Amino acid sequence: MNTIFAASVPGRRAWTVNSQAPRATDMLPAGLLRANPPRLPQCSELDVVRHYTRLSQMNYHVDANFYPLGSCTMKYNPKFMEYVAQLPGFARLHPLLAQLDGRAAQGALHVLYEIEQLLCELTGMKAFTLQPMAGANGEFTGVTLMAAYHKAKGRQRNIMLIPDAAHGTNPASASLAGFTVVNLESRDGMVNPEAVAKAVQEHGEQVAGLMMTCPNTLGLMETQLPRIVEALRAVDALLYYDGANMNAIMGKMRVGDAGFDVVHLNVHKTFGTPHGGGGPGAGPVGVSEKLLPFLPLPRVRRMEDGTFALIEDAPQSVGHIGPFYGSFGVIIKALAYILRLGGEGLTRASEHAVLNANYLKKRLEDVLEIPFKERHCAHEFVASAPDGLRALDIAKALLERGIHAPTVYFPLIVHECLMPEPTETESKQTLDSFVQAMRDIVDTGRTNPEALHEAPTRLPVRRLDETSAARHMVLTEDMS
Ligand SMILES: Cc1ncc(COP(=O)(O)O)c(C=O)c1O
C-alpha cells in the first residue's frame, strides 16, 4: 500500500493563495525560516480525494455493512449525533475556556450538568463524574473511589472479588489500583451467590468489594443479584457494576436501585459513538451516596442564580483523573442521543438489541454450538465453532463475504468462541443474511476445510501475524 507521497509530482498542488495577502515568510524573522522547503507530497485535489477514498474503501466500517462485534459493540450511530458535536460552539471551544472564564463556557458546562442528571435518572445513582476517557479508565476510577472509601474509614482492604465471566479489564483495573484479585468461578454462566458468600467468609474484613460485569461476557443477565448484594453488604464491602453493556438494560433496571455503589458506562457503546476499534470513548462513573465525597475533580455545579461553575473544593476527592472534563465530543453525542430518543426510545433500543440477539441465537442454534442455549441472552451471545472447525477460520470466511466477524476467542471460558452482538438497529433481512452466510461457511468447513483455512483471498490483506502487526507497526515510509 502506497502512501500519498507515491502520488506526489513536483509542482502539482491543490491550493491557491491570494497573491495580495501578506506572505508568512515576509512576516517571520529571517532566523526562523527553514533553509529548505519541507518534504510534503505535491498533489492535486483529485489525487488527494482519490487516495483517501481508496484507503477508506479498504477499511471495513459499520456504514458499509453488518458489524456484529460482541462485547466491543460496533453499532450504527445516527449522523445527527455527529452534526450536533460538530456545531461550531462545541467544536471550536477551547478546553481551557471553562477553567479560565466559566461565564464564557456556560453552554458547555450546561451540557456536562445536563447529562450527569440524565445518567443519574437512568441508573439510579446519586452523581456521575464524566472525566474517565474510556470504559477501562472508568473502572480504574471506580475502584480508586472504592479504595478511598475504605481508607477514609481507616480500613486496610485489599481484596477485590471478580467473577470469571467478568470483562478482562475488570481484574486489570483492580490490579492497577493495588487490589489483589480473587477469582469467583461461575455456575451455569452466572455468579454463584454461594461462592460469593464463601469468599466473603474466607477473606472477611479484607474484602473491599466485588466487580461484576452485567450482563456478563457470556451475554447472560444475572438472576441472583439480591443475594450477592446482601453477602457484600454484611461486611460493608462495595459493589461495582460494569455497566459497559448498558445497551441491554436501559429502562429495565436501575443499577442504583439494585444496591450497587459504583457503575461505569461506556457511553461510546451505548449512546452514539462508534467503539469497536478503540476510541475515542468516555466512561462516566456513577456513585451511590457513600462515595460522593471522593468523586474526581473538577465537578460541575448549578449555582443559585442558575449559572454553572466548575468546583474544585472537595477535600476528600481522589483528585484529577483525566485532563479537563473528559471526552467532551463523545459526551455531547451521548447527550444528543439520549435527548433524541427520550426514556421510551432508550427502552425500545434495549428491547431491540436484546430481541435481535435472541433472534440470531435461535436461528444459529443448528449451525453453531451454543452454550446455555435454553436461556435467553441479553444483547449478545456466545457460541463455539462446531465439528472441530476453528473460530478464526469462520471469522476470516465472513470477512471474505463482506461481513465483519463477531469477536472471537473471547471470553476465554468458551471453547473456539464466537461472540455476535447484532445491536438494535439491524433489520431482520440483515440478520437473516448473516445466518445464511454462517450456514454456508460451516457447510464449506465440513466438506472442504482447506477452503476455510485459505480465506480471505480477495481482501487487501490476507492473514496477518496479528501480534507483530500490533506490536511492530511500520508507520513511516522510506522516502529516500
Ligand atoms: C463489559 C466491558 N467492560 C469494559 C470495557 C472496556 O471499555 P473500553 O474499551 O472503553 O476501555 C468493555 C469494552 O468494550 C466492555 O465490553
The ligand 1 atom at the shortest distance from the C-alpha of residue 283 is: 10
Q: Do 28 and 93 share a structural domain?
A: no
Q: Do 366 and 323 share a structural domain?
A: no
Question: What is the span of the domain harbouring residue 35?
Answer: 4-58
Ligand 1 contact via 173 beta carbon (within 6 Å): no
- What is the reported pLDDT for 480? 61
Q: Do 361 and 320 share a structural domain?
A: no
Q: Do 360 and 331 share a structural domain?
A: no
Q: Whose CA is nearest to atom 5 of ligand 1?
A: 135
Measured in Å, residue 457 CA sits from the centre of ligand 1 at 32
Which of 67, 69, 167 gets mutated to test ligand 1 (max ligand atoms within 8 A of its CB)? 167
Measured in Å, residue 372 CA sits from the centre of ligand 1 at 23
Q: Whose CA is nearest to atom 9 of ligand 1?
A: 135
Q: Whose CA is nearest to atom 4 of ligand 1?
A: 135
Which tens digits make up the pLDDT trace of 237-283?
999 999 999 999 999 999 999 999 999 999 999 998 877 656 689 99
- What is the reported pLDDT for 370? 97
Dihedral sign for Cα 196, 197, 198, 200, please.
Answer: positive
- What is the reported pLDDT for 287? 98
The ligand 1 atom at the shortest distance from the C-alpha of residue 136 is: 11
Ligand 1 contact via 167 beta carbon (within 6 Å): yes
Q: Do 267 and 136 share a structural domain?
A: yes
- How many structural domains compose the chain? 3
Q: Do 206 and 298 share a structural domain?
A: yes
Q: Whose CA is nearest to atom 10 of ligand 1?
A: 135
Q: Whose CA is nearest to atom 2 of ligand 1?
A: 244
Task: Note whether residue 76 is domain-resident.
Answer: no
Torsion of CA 180, 184, 185, 189, to 10 degrees: -120
- What is the reported pLDDT for 395? 97
- What is the reported pLDDT for 18? 83
Distance, CA of 246 to CA of 269 (rounded, Å): 8
Expressed in angstroms, the distance from the first to the final Cα of the chain is 17
**Strand ranges inside 92-179, DSSP E:** 127-129, 159-163
The amino acid at residue 3 is T
- What is the reported pLDDT for 276? 62
User: Final residue of a domain: which of 41, 58, 75?
Assistant: 58
User: Final residue of a domain: which of 292, 314, 339?
Assistant: 339
383-384 and 299-302 beta bridge pairing: unpaired
Look up the CATH number of the domain holding residue 463.
Answer: 3.90.1150.10
- What is the reported pLDDT for 96? 86
Look up the CATH number of the domain holding residue 275.
Answer: 3.40.640.10
| Segments of the chain scoring below 50 in pLDDT | none
Ligand 1 contact via 129 beta carbon (within 6 Å): no
Residue 36 φ/ψ region, left for φ over 0, alpha for ψ in the -120 to 50 degree band, beta for the rest: beta
Q: Do 113 and 157 share a structural domain?
A: yes
Helix 391-400 and helix 428-447: axis angle, to 10°? 120
Q: Do 370 and 334 share a structural domain?
A: no
- What is the reported pLDDT for 102? 77
In 3-state terms, what secondary structure has residue 417?
A: strand
